[in-house]
Amino acid sequence: MDTVEKIKSQIAENPIILYMKGSPKLPSCGFSAQAAQALMNCGEQFAYVDILQNPDIRAELPAYANWPTFPQLWVEGELIGGCDIIMEMFQKGELQALIKETAAKSAAAE
């Protein structure tokens, strides 16, 4: 499976996935830390990929997503955005609503 296929498969299999530097508990950059914290505050499970451990994904994802930076939040196969967008949505309460709705849909589908 090539890298783009792997990315597509991760995005398809995980209704909420964050591509970040490090892990939610041990982020390796401030932007990833903020994004992961906002997601954790939503109170639902989410998947993550540490791009520092996956240099192939780190190299390919920006071109696939047409988004140059990390973190990247994907919800139901759609790129939501990076740290600024995630934080803005969180402050408006939009992120919590989106994450809860997606988690509920995903639980209903299982």
Cβ(80)–Cβ(39) below 8 Å: no
Q: Estimate to the nearest angstrom the gap between the alpha carbon of 8 and the chain centroid.
A: 13
Check the annotation: does 29 bind a ligand.
yes
Rounded Cα distance, 74 and 105, in Å: 15
Pairwise CA distance, residues 9 & 33, whole Å: 25
2 among the known binding-site residues?
no
Angle between helix 83-92 and helix 94-109 axes, rounded to 10 deg: 90
83 is an annotated ligand-binding site residue: yes
Query: Is residue 70 marked as binding?
Result: yes
Tokens 């390919």 sit at which residue? 60
Binding site residue list for [2Fe-2S] cluster: 29
Residue ranges for the binding site for glutathione?
21, 58, 70, 83-84
Residues at the binding site are 21, 29, 58, 70, 83-84
